[in-house]
Structure 1
């Protein structure tokens, strides 16, 4: 016999954490674009900005899907594919931002 689990405010806290993380990714992508514009619009910088935008959009898609799922009392578990996508987009944003500095 399994007892019903009361999730309490855990789904709400997780949803808020996803929103904060999405906001952080947005700021990183915007700062990358700003850095590219201030350092001169070289082809390499424009490619890095475009790749940063793609990584940001990928993360935004994963986050939106996850936040939507967390709107119920008993949300589904986060799929490994979604977690891998979010992690890869985060690492890609960091790499592209670092590439623009050099």
Structure 2
């Protein structure tokens, strides 16, 4: 085997670090969604607050699904690369969740 061949690849702790990063990001999204819901409902149940709260919950669930699939995929002996579709979904959920939090605050 040559040092550059795929069979000689030793991932080391990289998959574990990536799993931990996904878990931290999921926790951060959970906190953002809970704070957005709390802020929206604390000021009174306005229509915009309820819509922002519901949308935050849906976006959080979407991000949670993407993160769970990625964390599960990283448990394999040879994890596959993150697909462009999953990366786009995670980025859009994160950006939209931040936007919902802004709407809930203002």
Separation of aligned partners in 2, 1:9 and 1:69 = 15
The structure 2 residue matched to 1:22, chosen from 14, 22, 26, is 26
How do 1:23-42 and structure 2 match up within 5 A? 23-42=27-46
CA deviation vs aligned residue, 1:41-85 (integer Å, no higher than 9, x gap)? 101100000000111000000000000000022100000000000
What is the TM-score normalised by the length of structure 1? 0.96
1:38 Cα deviation from its structure 2 partner: 1.0
In structure 2, what is the equivalent of residue 97 of structure 1? 101
Separation of aligned partners in 2, 1:74 and 1:14 = 14
The structure 2 residue matched to 1:8, chosen from 12, 22, 42, is 12
Separation of aligned partners in 2, 1:72 and 1:61 = 18
Once superposed, which parts of structure 1, at least 4 consecutive aligned residues long, lie more than 2 Å away? Answer: none
2:79 match: secondary structure: coil
How do 1:53-64 and structure 2 match up within 5 A? 53-64=57-68
Specify every segment of 5 or more residues in structure 1 that has no aligned partner in the other structure, as ranges: none
2:96 match: secondary structure: helix
Is residue 2:104 matched to residue 1:78? no
CA contact (8 A) 1:51 1:96 kept: yes
